[in-house]
Structure 1
Amino acid sequence: MTQSLIKELTSPVQMVAKIMRTSSFQYFVSKISQAGFLLFGSAIVAFLWSNIHPESYDHFWHQQLTLQLGSFSLSHSLAHWINEGLMTIFFLTVGLEIKREFLVGGLSDPKRAALPVAAAAGGMVVPGLIYAACNLAGDSISGWGIPMATDIAFSLAVLSILGDRVPFGLRLFLTAFAIADDLGAVLVIAFFYTPSVNLGALGAAAALVVLLFALNRGGVRHSCFYIVCCIVLWFAVAQAGLHATIAGVITAMFVPSSGKYDTDIFLKLVSDRLEKIRCRQDGGCGRSILVNRSHLNAVQEIKLACREVETPLQKLEHGLSSWVGYLILPLFALANAGVHVVGLDLFQALTHPITLGVTLGLLAGKPLGIFIFTFAIARILKAELIQGTTWTHILGAGFLGGIGFTMSLFIANLSFTQGEYLEYAKIGIMIGSFFSACGGYALLRWSGKPS
């Protein structure tokens, strides 16, 4: 048993294969795709609940929840705690994903990143312009940022349904441009959806950013220090008048992205320990590793080395992804996807400039912007598409980019307070996202299996 284990672990080819099968990207895609289905179910529940029993829906999410520590107390509605509190963890995860993509992912090489970044830019500019064109004459222009976002969980969930009908490179492209799109959405929230600023609290937030920088440069690797700083930064940013969830993105930028051991040291250490196990095994120290103290010590050292070679960024991202995908995003959908259509003038709702602007921005603006900008940059830079992908695939991905949902709902809540405008925005998000998903699925399925 031990000899077979040693043989497997010491085979370079098998080791590389195992690493590839369990790569961070595949782990991320798998987790986020599963979360997309749960998110879809939560949205349906919210829609049904808000129309079958609207009073209980509104009462539940608007009941006050108070956090009290001594004389200090903070009281907000349950929906507010989810949107401003739990969603900070979501934005922390988004920040970690963005950082990983810029370091080792699809955005790490400027030439490779050109196409997904162009897609993200087009997918933000064109939908925003379409919305603005529909709402220039009214007082609803503040919602221009709503159709600019892409819900990466929903998009990857649709791709997972298609299975091997789409090339692996398209998953890389969609993930890269969706993360670049998330970065753009974060910047839009920070710069355009921020009320008046409290300079004193902003100074405290700046001091905490300096502390995060010092922790990073000082080699502090334990995630709990960064989590504590994120919580305190959340309070400071909220008091400053900025959107509190930005604290998550800021914290993510300073989480260390290198392991305690580099690859060479890790491989040497593991190789040495495996050699000791092999020598002792050949020396007749017993067939079972469980009865040999030397073998156990070597295995424990290998286990410790595996932990130390993993970066804090990876550990935190893996640790948070399940909580975000299976708890936070479904709760966000339950609290925000409720649209009161019973008793609503549907004709007026469907033809209102907000509804039209959001729907057309997602359904038409996203695929057009993504396709045109990607095509233009590819011609200007003479860049090639990822192997296996075609321009039909890019157009299909553009439609999937029109699934705005999570981030669109988030920006809608910042754009409009409670009232008809928010309901119209939600209706536009639901319609635009649904038909974008259908259009993307149909187009990619029609395009056939990759060769």
Structure 2
Amino acid sequence: MLRAFLRTEAGSTTVLLVATVLALLWANSPWGDTYEAFWHTPMGISFGDADFSLDLRHWVNDGLMTVFFFLIGLEVSYEVRLGQLRDRRLIAVPAVAAFGGMLVPAGVYLLLNFGGPGAGGWGVPIATDTAFVLGVLAIVGARCPDPLRAFLLTLAIVDDVLAIMIIAIFYTASLSIPALITAVVLLAAIVTLRWLRIWRAPAYVVLGFALWVATLESGIHPTLVGIALGLLVFVYAPTDQKLLLAGEAVQEFTSEPSARAAREATRRVQRAVSVNERLQLRLHPWSSYVIVPIFALANAGVRLDGETLRAALTSPVSIGVALGLVLGKFVGISLGTWLPLRFGWGILPGNLVWGQLLGGAAVSGIGFTVALFIVDLAFDGSPVHAQAKIGILAGSLLSALLGWVIFRLAWDRGGVCAPPEAEPPEELPDRLTVPVGPADHVRGPEDATITIVEYGDFECPYCGRLHPVLEEIRRKNPDVRMVFRHYPIRTLHPRAASAAIVSEAAADQGRFWEMHDILYDNQRFLTDADLEHYAAELGIDPWSDVPGHAARIALHEESGRDSGVRGTPTLFLNGVRYQGGLDKGSISRALDDLRESP
């Protein structure tokens, strides 16, 4: 589900960008006056004396965007029940980071606008645009691992929920009590249908549309309806019985293909998957490729003539929005990530290093969809409306560039995981101080002419990428043997030490290398529950001798420090520290040089 979501959002970034550029070109063309005129065209429904009408922009912002927020509700519901938000330790860090990423930008904006005509726009720089952020991460490519995408997606979900709460509380001008009561009654009717397990789509569509109209008339922004309905959609993990029935139906169709068997197999397979997941699969492309780009086309158009740009350059509104997105988001998310890690409130979702986290904090300053949304609520008809939009565009562009630079610098450090304090100023030794002995984990022939000693960390992403490279080298070079020594970097990888302990428990049963391969193949899943599952597969007790195994790991770490190891992975070839590239070609050439040397 997460991978499908990421592919859809990242792929839609180009469409969203094209829509934004078209809006800007249209608004700044010789026919620029038609831009506002078109989006203010009224459109509605009338029945006798009853009339319901909105202009096109409000149909987009209040109507189509409800589907966008409905999908956010679906995603929140799924993640809370089946996804990453089930684990409170994984929620804590991105949740606090999201809170910091909203509080600090709002504070930066208010420092420049408090008491002025633009003070009401403090909500503009608080929200992150998920589609644009994931698009930038797709461009970053290998520099951004999947755990960082998962971290930022969780952060964005919390960010969106908080932003919608802010819209509901601070950007509701007036309330109509009768309409509000009607909306509450309709919502209760939908909850009752769900409680009675009545799954008739027409009933939900009719009640949902009536709820949207009632909410709109009440004065509360109707996008809240989308979130509420998304949260109410039923989500569940497929039961063994449903999977068995689906498998039998598919097998029947495979053995005796027919229209009846195909229909039954389709029905059984669909029932095995929750309505939540099916709706996400169907609606995500419409939201990502149609609804959000139309929203951008309707809202991103702002005139960029000399007078407007000069006003924006000196406007506290545009400067406040831009600084809030670039500086506020970066500082707020970075501080909000550091605090829960520092005080042990939570853990990161995977093998992340600070360079990647800082890059993610920077690109999170790309605020577009919800930012433009709040601009219309805060400055509708105000002369600073255009200035706020220019601040959004400038701040988002600068945030994307800052993130790209940080990712580039972090990657160019050399592809090694190391804590910030790991590089001392003194010259490091380059010889292996503790020779390979009987207590080491060795894979390969005893009479090998070349021995590769790796100091590794099971949660280090660079060790994970090196693992298949070393395996291929060992298979193709019968004169090479591999030795693995532990060097868990606890300040960066909270699960590395536990994984190392479990591997030592496997070593007691002569199954170290089996566990070694399992751990590297499942780097993203190294919780205690995951480790116990892997141990059960091999028939071992993972916590059989924690003090003894920890002492053995400590000896590896001590030998590594004495040998000049400061990060992972670090390799020694026949006792000499290898300082070349960690790709197959570079290591193979170093092995050839060893063979040729006297």
Given the two structures, how large is their TM-score scaled by the length of structure 2? 0.66
Note the alpha carbon deviations across 1:65-90, whole angstroms, 9 max, x for none: 12223432222211111111111111
Match of 1:392 among 350, 355, 360: 355
Q: Does 1:47 align with 2:24?
A: yes
Q: Structure 2 stretches of 5 or more lacking a match?
A: 416-460, 463-598
Note the alpha carbon deviations across 1:408-431, whole angstroms, 9 max, x for none: 000111001124211011000000
Note the alpha carbon deviations across 1:25-69, whole angstroms, 9 max, x for none: 111111111122211111111111101132111211112212223
How far apart are residue 442 of structure 1 and its match?
A: 2.2
CA distance in 2, matches of 1:299, 1:105: 31
Report if aligned partners of 1:222, 1:312 keep a CA contact under 8 Å in 2.
Answer: no
Alignment RMSD (CA, Å): 1.9
Q: Does 1:327 align with 2:305?
A: no
Which range moves more in the overlay, 314-323 or 138-147? Answer: 314-323
Report if aligned partners of 1:256, 1:311 keep a CA contact under 8 Å in 2.
Answer: yes
Give 2:140's aligned residue.
162
Quick one: which amino acid aligns to residue 196 of structure 1?
S
CA distance in 1, matches of 2:193, 2:119: 42
Which range moves more in the overlay, 264-273 or 140-149? Answer: 264-273
Go from structure 1 to structure 2 and tell me whether the alpha carbon gap of 1:318 and 1:447 turns closer, same or farther (over 3 Å shift): same
The aligned runs of 1:110-259 (5 Å cut-off) are 110-258=88-236
Q: Does 1:73 align with 2:81?
A: no
Quick one: which amino acid aligns to residue 390 of structure 2?
I
Quick one: which amino acid aligns to residue 410 of structure 1?
F
Which range moves more in the overlay, 145-154 or 298-307? Answer: 298-307
Quick one: which amino acid aligns to residue 107 of structure 1?
L
Report if aligned partners of 1:221, 1:256 keep a CA contact under 8 Å in 2.
Answer: no
How far apart are residue 382 of structure 1 and its match?
A: 5.7
CA distance in 1, matches of 2:308, 2:49: 48
CA distance in 2, matches of 1:85, 1:382: 39
Give 2:7's aligned residue.
30
Match of 1:64 among 42, 55, 75: 42
Give 2:402's aligned residue.
439
Report if aligned partners of 2:312, 2:319 keep a CA contact under 8 Å in 1.
Answer: no
Give 1:307's aligned residue.
270
CA distance in 2, matches of 1:75, 1:275: 53
Which range moves more in the overlay, 147-156 or 268-277? Answer: 268-277
How far apart are residue 272 of structure 1 and its match?
A: 4.1
CA distance in 2, matches of 1:109, 1:375: 19
CA distance in 1, matches of 2:206, 2:192: 14
CA distance in 2, matches of 1:441, 1:228: 46
Q: Structure 1 stretches of 5 or more lacking a match?
A: 1-23, 282-288
Report if aligned partners of 1:402, 1:436 keep a CA contact under 8 Å in 2.
Answer: yes
How far apart are residue 208 of structure 1 and its match?
A: 0.9
Give 2:389's aligned residue.
426
Q: Is the partner of 2:86 in helix, strand or coil?
A: coil
Give 2:244's aligned residue.
268
Quick one: which amino acid aligns to residue 184 of structure 1?
L
Go from structure 1 to structure 2 and tell me whether the alpha carbon gap of 1:306 and 1:392 turns closer, same or farther (over 3 Å shift): same
CA distance in 1, matches of 2:355, 2:232: 38
Q: Does 1:352 align with 2:315?
A: yes
Which range moves more in the overlay, 47-56 or 379-388? Answer: 379-388
Report if aligned partners of 1:151, 1:405 keep a CA contact under 8 Å in 2.
Answer: yes
Q: Is the partner of 2:320 in helix, strand or coil?
A: helix
CA distance in 2, matches of 1:221, 1:227: 11
CA distance in 2, matches of 1:92, 1:144: 25
Go from structure 1 to structure 2 and tell me whether the alpha carbon gap of 1:277 and 1:181 turns closer, same or farther (over 3 Å shift): closer
User: Which structure: greater helix fraction?
Assistant: 1
Report if aligned partners of 2:81, 2:236 keep a CA contact under 8 Å in 1.
Answer: no
Report if aligned partners of 2:88, 2:346 keep a CA contact under 8 Å in 1.
Answer: no
CA distance in 2, matches of 1:204, 1:382: 42
CA distance in 2, matches of 1:242, 1:384: 37
Note the alpha carbon deviations across 1:427-450, whole angstroms, 9 max, x for none: 000000111011112212332265
Which range moves more in the overlay, 88-97 or 120-129? Answer: 88-97
Give 1:339's aligned residue.
302
Go from structure 1 to structure 2 and tell me whether the alpha carbon gap of 1:61 and 1:304 turns closer, same or farther (over 3 Å shift): same
How far apart are residue 176 of structure 1 and its match?
A: 0.5
CA distance in 2, matches of 1:135, 1:127: 12
CA distance in 2, matches of 1:227, 1:29: 28
Note the alpha carbon deviations across 1:214-253, whole angstroms, 9 max, x for none: 1111112344433322211111111111112211111112
How far apart are residue 345 of structure 1 and its match?
A: 4.3
How far apart are residue 400 of structure 1 and its match?
A: 1.3
Give 1:8's aligned residue.
none
Quick one: which amino acid aligns to residue 23 of structure 2?
A
CA distance in 1, matches of 2:23, 2:123: 23
Quick one: which amino acid aligns to residue 188 of structure 1?
I
Which range moves more in the overlay, 268-277 or 63-72? Answer: 268-277
CA distance in 2, matches of 1:27, 1:275: 26
CA distance in 2, matches of 1:71, 1:239: 17
How far apart are residue 97 of structure 1 and its match?
A: 1.4
Q: How many pairs are equivalent? A: 413
Quick one: which amino acid aligns to residue 393 of structure 1?
Q
Give 2:503's aligned residue.
none
Note the alpha carbon deviations across 1:165-222, whole angstroms, 9 max, x for none: 2111001001110111000001001111111211111111110111111111111234
Note the alpha carbon deviations across 1:273-306, whole angstroms, 9 max, x for none: 567679xx6xxxxxxx44xx6xx65554332211
Report if aligned partners of 1:226, 1:255 keep a CA contact under 8 Å in 2.
Answer: no
Q: Is the partner of 2:222 in helix, strand or coil?
A: coil
Note the alpha carbon deviations across 1:314-346, whole angstroms, 9 max, x for none: 122222111111111111101110111225242
Quick one: which amino acid aligns to residue 17 of structure 2?
F
Q: Is the partner of 1:150 in helix, strand or coil?
A: coil
Quick one: which amino acid aligns to residue 53 of structure 2?
S
Quick one: which amino acid aligns to residue 146 of structure 1?
V
How far apart are residue 404 of structure 1 and its match?
A: 0.5
Go from structure 1 to structure 2 and tell me whether the alpha carbon gap of 1:258 and 1:71 turns closer, same or farther (over 3 Å shift): farther
CA distance in 1, matches of 2:19, 2:175: 35
CA distance in 2, matches of 1:277, 1:182: 43
Q: Is the partner of 1:344 in helix, strand or coil?
A: helix
Quick one: which amino acid aligns to residue 218 of structure 1?
L
Quick one: which amino acid aligns to residue 64 of structure 1?
P
Q: Is the partner of 2:51 in helix, strand or coil?
A: strand
Q: Which has the larger radius of gyration?
A: 2
**Identity value in percent:** 36
Report if aligned partners of 1:238, 1:244 keep a CA contact under 8 Å in 2.
Answer: yes
Report if aligned partners of 2:366, 2:399 keep a CA contact under 8 Å in 1.
Answer: yes
